[in-house]
Amino acid sequence: MRLIDHYLAGGKAPAAARKSPVFDPNSGGIQAEVPLGDAALLDGAVDAALAAQPGWAATNPQRRARVMFKFKELVEAEIDSLAATLSREHGKVIADARGDIQRGLEVIEFACGIPHVLKGEFTQGAGPGIDVYSMRQPLGIGAGITPFNFPAMIPMWMFGVAIACGNAFILKPSERDPSVPVRLAELMREAGAPEGILQVVHGDKEMVDAILDHPAIAAVSFVGSSDIAHYVYKRGVAAGKRVQAMGGAKNHGIVMPDADLDQVVADLSGAAFGSAGERCMALPVVVPVGEDTAERLREKLLPAIAALRVGVSTDAEAHYGPVVNAAHKQRVEDWIQTGVDEGAELVVDGRGFKLQGHEEGFFIGPTLFDRVTTDMKAYQEEIFGPVLQIVRAKDFEEAVALPSRHQYGNGVAIFTRNGHAAREFAARVNVGMVGINVPIPVPVAYHSFGGWKRSAFGDTNQHGMEGVKFWTKVKTVTQRWPDGGVGDAANAFVIPTMG
């Protein structure tokens, strides 16, 4: 059985007592195993990071940027093989896997500009002969705990900025699809990063807890479900760490009566069902405003859903592939049944979908609910599968209130031709990321990514300048170069002022 090992400074780790299977989502079979590390293994990784980080931090930002440029070049040269590996372990189609990698590379491109963004502030003559300046310095060792749904993008969101800022980084990817994160670490080393600056440790809760408790790890970035994000945040902060923990989502798409419904349906097909719905920025709830809008939208959705092609991840014609494993497939199908039990109208049922020749694969057909109400658990919780729910709103005010009152506040979109309605919605809605005629409003890499409410814990977002702030600390220097003499000894006992 193929083993996807840790990537550690100094070579391979000792044989693991515990291992976890890595499935082939297309066939349902086991294709590899991944070792599950423990606190002792993490100690070794931390020791290597501690040895490497001071020298890396002392490397000037321009040279660190050159490593980022080279890393980007190496990843781009391997993007086809990386996408194939990602697709084989995750199940998303090749085009989507390439997009996963490309979105991560966009943050690496931002990190290539680290000499500019690390520039501090300077005030000349703040007082008589006194200048004040600030500098951003690395924290030391950072760690990232990443989910299965974006095994390339989210690790690069984290380690790209952290390493460019001068930190060492320890990545714990999902044990469900770990091969691409390991290869990215190998390419970072090939690009010129010193050994120990980027390491990959595999594990489950035991490794997560070890990361959160380790006194030498200064900051932790996490992406996953909200309950675990809250746990990570509380435990990490209690251990004195800086923590950003991104949780779940239930993103809404508001459809105003004047919207271009053909475009809305095209957008919803990708945003709701793309990557089998396994995206925290998927659009699983559509909110038509007014009964007429709802009926027209439903009428157009049905043929579009019927035209969706579910296939193996290597099928170039498939719109989406299988979900990641059997347990997740069962979880999604259980939520579909919950929706039925709660009284929602199941318009299209994706359960029981079988792909010829891949009957044991983890496939779920596209599913559509109508007349979903806010008291239903199936509406309140994240399903994370190819399931679209229609929640009808009687007017604009109700449409604003639905995502604003929901426990999650990751993303939201509004579809309209009315500029005033869009502007009013964007200003008032209680959600962290807003799209206007953009179904998946993930910001570009030089802005920041982050939700509100139970979608994010901590006060600093991912990537962009928010990422730089998270992975650095500010030092402020007040300096004086007197002309000569000792000065007034009496004033040495008075708090200095700039008067």
- The 10s digit of each residue's pLDDT in 345-358 is 999 999 999 999 99
Return residue ranges of the chain for CATH 3.40.309.10. 252-436
Question: Is beta strand 387-390 parallel, antiparallel or unpaired with respect to 367-370?
Answer: parallel
The pLDDT tens digits of the residues spanning 72-111 come to 999 999 999 999 999 999 999 999 999 999 999 999 999 9
Q: d(Cα 265, Cα 260) in Å, to the nearest integer?
A: 9
Q: Which of 163, 280, 285, 323 is catalytic?
A: 280
Asked if residue 199 lies in contact with residue 189, where contact means CB atoms within 8 angstroms, the answer is: no
Active site residue 280: yes
Angle between helices 79-90 and 179-191 (to 10 degrees): 160
- Tell me the mean pLDDT in the region 169-191: 98
Q: What is residue 249's predicted lDDT score, i.e. its pLDDT?
A: 95
Instruction: Round to whole Å and give the CA distance between 156 and 158.
Output: 5
- With a CB cutoff of 8 Å and minimum separation 6, the contacts of 110 are 160, 161, 445, 446, 463, 464
pLDDT of residue 12: 75
**CATH ID of 19-247+455-477, from 3.90.1150.10, 3.40.605.10, 3.40.50.11890, 3.40.50.970:** 3.40.605.10
CA-based nearest residue to 145, from 75, 43, 88, 228: 228
Q: Which of 39, 43, 57, 54 is nearest to 10 (CA)?
A: 43
Q: Mean pLDDT, the chain, as a whole number? A: 95
CATH, domain 252-436, list 3.30.460.10, 3.40.309.10, 3.40.50.2030, 3.40.50.10440: 3.40.309.10
pTM of the model: 0.94
Q: How does residue 260 score in pLDDT terms, banded at 50, 70 and 90?
A: very high
Quick check: 487 pLDDT over 90? no
Residue predicted with more confidence, 11 or 187: 187
pLDDT at 301: 98
Reported as a pLDDT band with limits 50, 70 and 90, residue 489 is: low
Looking at the chain, the domain(s) classified CATH 3.40.605.10 span 19-247+455-477
484 band by pLDDT with thresholds 50, 70 and 90: low
CA separation for the pair 122, 107 (Å, rounded): 28
**What is the tens place of the pLDDT at every residue in 123-155?**
999 988 899 999 999 999 999 999 999 999 999
